[in-house]
A and B are shown apart, each in its own frame.
Chain A
Amino acid sequence: MAYFLNSSIGKKFLVSLSGLFLISFLFVHLTANSMILFDSSGELFNRTAHFMATNPIIRVVEPILAIGFILHILYTVILTIQNWMARPIGYHKQQRAFSSTWSSRNMIWLGLVILAFLIIHIANFFWKVKFTGDPLLGKVDYDGVEMENTYHLVTTFFIQWWWIVAVYVIGAVALGFHLTHAFWAAFQTLGWSDNCWRKRLNALGLVISIIIAGGFAIIPLWVKIASMI
């Protein structure tokens, strides 16, 4: 096992599995967030957030999610550094764009933009809801169930600061480009691809990237624009 995890393909195996797990998380997260769009009173989103915060399954998955992120980041950083070291002297001239996509060559930078976003995002919301609290996080009461007004915290952030909206849109777009390469690649790494499935998985990957990037970008934009009209 130690040998397996030290081998290049073994490390990629973990990157692939953690990446696929993160994609499945994104879908759950996007579904929950989209409740912001469907009810401007905030009740729908607050109830969803409350459900997520109290659901035992989500409670169990949360630490696994953290481990998923850590594994993914740890192993991609290790692999990227090893890959840089594999070519100590570079070319004077190389036509890279001829043979590969921009996203596939810039996965680490796209990943680091996502990571920077993630840190801002966690500090903005998750940390406050979970640990420190925030003056914007009042309590609301729906049918006798008291819960935190997460909707108020989230929308106030977007409405007050343009730069927060910009950060969220940039994060979403970087994630979208990351996924255009990552989705098919994850299956390829697991050995689950051939000439035919490659086309199908790439097409599906593009659809998923557009849904994820578009979905996450629209929410802050919508909140901001709706507040102005």
Chain B
Amino acid sequence: MDLTLKVWRQADRKSKGNFETYQIKDISPDSSFLEMLDELNEQLIREGIEPVAFDHDCREGICGMCSLFINGRAHGPGHETTTCQLHMRKFKDGDTIVIEPWRAGAFPVIKDLVVDRGAFDKILQAGGFISVNTGNAQDANAIPIKKFQSDEAMDAAACIGCGACVATCKNSSAMLFVASKVSHLALLPQGKVEAVRRAKAMVAKMDELGFGSCTNTGACEVECPKGITLTHIARLNREFLSANLKP
């Protein structure tokens, strides 16, 4: 496949940045999107141009490092796929592909297509954990958990913290991410203990870091590579409201 790529280039946090257009030839439809970018970078290095910086790690859809806003969609075309799991057969020979970094005030661009998602870590540090005394691991199944609850908690726990929800939301809201963490822990007995403090602390941190609020458009859910649903946001709202309206 021969493609035209319009790629966001930005030297560092402070510089302004702009789109550069590159031509790339003979890309296999079976290569992944990131492999295609690897080939682009080899070509750029041969031409003496600085290669394009982009995030990735596992390349198997589980770490959440890869990002990229491709042709107007977070993680590009495809349903419940991360950029590393996106294959070039989703595009046509001769296509022009626009590649942008995640855009949100809370996710500043570090270089080219790489953004700083440290804000998510700060939200997690504020309450996305359970406090336990260390020691021997407990016997499995020592605490009975209802099937519905364990299923829901498992679904919420699938979040890989990629930030596609923030990137795609017109408000740059982190509600789906926060909801998946709050929901995941609040559903389980180990997490219930700190549920009130957690909901308050994580929402406060999310607001403080400059993410927008949720207007229930549902765009996050459509683009989430792990299929986290708005039901978890409803649960977050419930947790937060009851945490605050309780005396």
Which residues of A are interface residues toward B (Cβ below 8 A)?
3-4, 6-13, 79, 82-83, 85-96, 98-101, 104-105, 107, 181, 184-185, 188-195, 198
Contacts and interface: CB of A to CB of B under 8 A. Distances in A.
A18 to B, nearest CB: 15
Which applies to chain A's interface (DSSP): helix, strand, loop or mixed?
A: helix
8 contacts: A7-B244, A8-B173, A85-B210, A86-B211, A91-B69, A99-B217, A100-B218, A189-B214
Interface residues of B, number: 48
A104 B218 contact: yes
A89 B168 CA distance: 13
Given A86-B171, A99-B168, A99-B222, A193 B230 contact: yes
Contacts of B106: 86
A213 B240 CA distance: 34
Contacts of B173: 8, 83, 86
B134 to A, nearest CB: 33
B203 A101 contact: no
Contacts, number: 140
Contact of B217 (A85, A104, A191): A104
A89 B212 CA distance: 14
A75 to B, nearest CB: 10
A93 B19 contact: no
A66 B239 CA distance: 30
A188 B230 contact: yes
Contacts of A93: 71-72, 98, 100
Given A105-B170, A190-B237, A96 B105 contact: no
Interface in B198-247: 203-204, 206-207, 210-219, 222-223, 229-231, 233-241, 244-245
A96 B100 contact: no
Contacts of A89: 103
Contacts of B218: 99-100, 104
Contacts of A98: 72-73, 222
